[in-house]
Amino acid sequence: MKEIGGYFELQLRKGEHYHKGAVQLNTARNCLEYILRAKKYKKIYIPYLNSEVIWEPIKKLGIECEFYSVDFKIDPIFDKKLAGDEVFLYSDIYGIKCNTVEKLVRRFGKQLIVDNTHAFYSRPYEGIDTIYSPRKFFGLPDGAYLYTDTLLDEVFGKDNAIPHMTHLMKRIEYGNAGAAYQDYLDYCASLIDQPIKRMSNLANALLANIDYENLKQRQISNFKYLHSVLGKDNIYEFDNFPEDTCPLSYMFYSEDPDLRKKLIDNKIFVSTYWKATLDLVQKDSAEYRIVNYLLPLPCDHRYNEEDMKRIIDVIYS
């Protein structure tokens, strides 16, 4: 029975999810586990250049795994033909590799898993298993989306968002990331070995509260502004992707050993993704150069042109 009256809850706009037709789960790694269980694959090919969290469901299920390399353009180097019980996973790194995703869809068909955790706004291909992590784009306690045509005949419990809210609330309350950084690290650690669950009620409500088109356009605008100034000095060449592509970050290549620290010292937080990859590859590999020297400059919807100018000023100072 619907409740009427009483104290007020957190006031949120009741809109729609961007990914309305997807299975709503708690984490992206559990989306991968869901696919592997539903499709009963025996072997998966994954890129060296990826987050080690995707190893978790692969090890848990005891599925054979083989790594493949990418070149400096982040295109796969892979010439094998897949057996019927094998699958190829490709990640749209930084949300700029949609052209490569399209080619792989044509090549592998349904034996492809697209990891769109960095490409929230990229639409899925029909019949292709596709994973999204809105937590890479928005402040959320949990939540992931999965497009698949094979559903598990299981009933999953619902995640509880309350223990995952501390870092989100503290950053608003105290106005800086440092005040809750340890809480954020604790939150990330708490995601390890989580069972598959449905998205929490709070994450569901928060994702229905977002003005997606507005935020998307702001992020694209920030990316384009950075590229208009930094492009002449950036040796990383972007694909000719569609105008409405919304990258996660602006990737700026620099072998200056002090630049990342200089940015961070100026409160411009530049992540280092895929540190575990360095233990698997040679120093002359594309992966080694990408992890160490391709800096993901923040350009998301929280910021404006003035913020982008500050990033540029620090780089050229």
pLDDT tens-place string over residues 250-306 = 999 999 989 999 999 999 999 888 999 999 999 999 999 999 999 999 999 999 999
* CATH number of the domain that residue 113 is part of: 3.40.640.10
Which of 207, 231, 258 is the last residue before a domain boundary? 207
Assigned domain for 60 exists: yes
Does residue 144 sit in the same domain as residue 233? no
Does residue 270 sit in the same domain as residue 288? yes
Assigned domain for 18 exists: no
Does residue 147 sit in the same domain as residue 132? yes
Whether 7 has a pLDDT exceeding 80, the answer reads no
Assigned domain for 9 exists: no
Does residue 63 sit in the same domain as residue 156? yes
Does residue 189 sit in the same domain as residue 151? yes
Does residue 161 sit in the same domain as residue 77? yes
Does residue 228 sit in the same domain as residue 107? no
* 237: containing domain: 212-316
Does residue 66 sit in the same domain as residue 191? yes
Residue 3 confidence (pLDDT):
81
Which of 161, 178, 207 is the last residue before a domain boundary? 207
Residue 12 confidence (pLDDT):
87
Assigned domain for 11 exists: no
Assigned domain for 138 exists: yes
Assigned domain for 7 exists: no
Does residue 169 sit in the same domain as residue 97? yes
pLDDT tens-place string over residues 220-229 = 999 999 999 9
Does residue 149 sit in the same domain as residue 218? no
Q: What is the DSSP string of the chain?
A: ----SSS----------SSTTSEEES-HHHHHHHHHHHHT-SEEEEESSS-GGGHHHHHHHT-EEEEEEE-TT--EE--PPPPTTEEEEEE-GGG--HHHHHHHHHHHGGGEEEE-TT-TTSPPPTT-EEEE-GGGTS--SS-EEEE-S---S--PPBP--GGG-HHHHHHHHHSSSGGGHHHHHHHHHHTTTPPP-BPPHHHHHHHTS--HHHHHHHHHHHHHHHHHHHGGG--PPPP---TT---SEEEEE---TTHHHHHHHTT-------GGGGGTS-TTSHHHHHHHHEEEEE-STT--HHHHHHHHHHHH-
* Per-residue confidence band for 177, with pLDDT thresholds at 50, 70 and 90: confident
Domain count, the chain: 2
Does residue 141 sit in the same domain as residue 36? yes
Whether 4 has a pLDDT exceeding 90, the answer reads no
Which of 139, 174, 207 is the last residue before a domain boundary? 207
Assigned domain for 16 exists: no
Does residue 231 sit in the same domain as residue 101? no
Residue 2 confidence (pLDDT):
77
Assigned domain for 10 exists: no
Report, as an integer, the average pLDDT of 171-197.
91
Average pLDDT, rounded, for the chain: 95
* CATH number of the domain that residue 263 is part of: 3.90.1150.10
Percentage of residues in the chain with pLDDT exceeding 90? 91
Residue 270 confidence (pLDDT):
93
- pTM score, two decimals? 0.95
Percentage of residues in the chain with pLDDT exceeding 70? 100
